[in-house]
Amino acid sequence: MTKIKCKFCGHEWETKSKYNLVSCPSCGNKNRNVNKDDESYIDMDKKTKIKFVYQKKVLKEKNVCGLAKGEVDSTIENLSKSKNIPIGEISVEFL
């Protein structure tokens, strides 16, 4: 079971769901279904901007509340392939 806290209304509940997004039973808004103890998750209390940067040039920006590290890795990999940039040279900045 995973404990979820709605980022919209603050309601807390437990779920057995394996879906990435689950609906809050109180307000109906979608929330990420992620175990907060999972080291593969970056938790943010409020919306944060994440930038993928190469040589001081912003390649991509995302607004996020929480993010699986796998999403960061796959975004870096996709940018690396599409822009022909070595993976190790793309940095990530949280603002």
Q: Tell me the per-residue pLDDT of 59-93, one tens digit each, with 9 for 90 and over.
A: 888 877 666 667 788 888 989 999 999 988 988 88
DSSP codes joined into one string, 18-64: -SSEEE-TTT--EEE---TT-TTEEEEEEEEEEEEEETTEEEEEEEE
Can you give the pTM of this predicted structure?
Answer: 0.50
**pLDDT tens per residue, range 7-65:** 899 999 998 887 778 899 999 998 888 754 555 555 555 567 788 898 888 888 887 76
CA distance linking residue 93 with residue 69, whole number of Å: 13
Q: What is the pLDDT of residue 43?
A: 55
Going from N- to C-terminal start, the domains of the chain cover 2-33, 42-94
Q: Which of 71, 75, 18, 84 is nearest to 44 (CA)?
A: 71
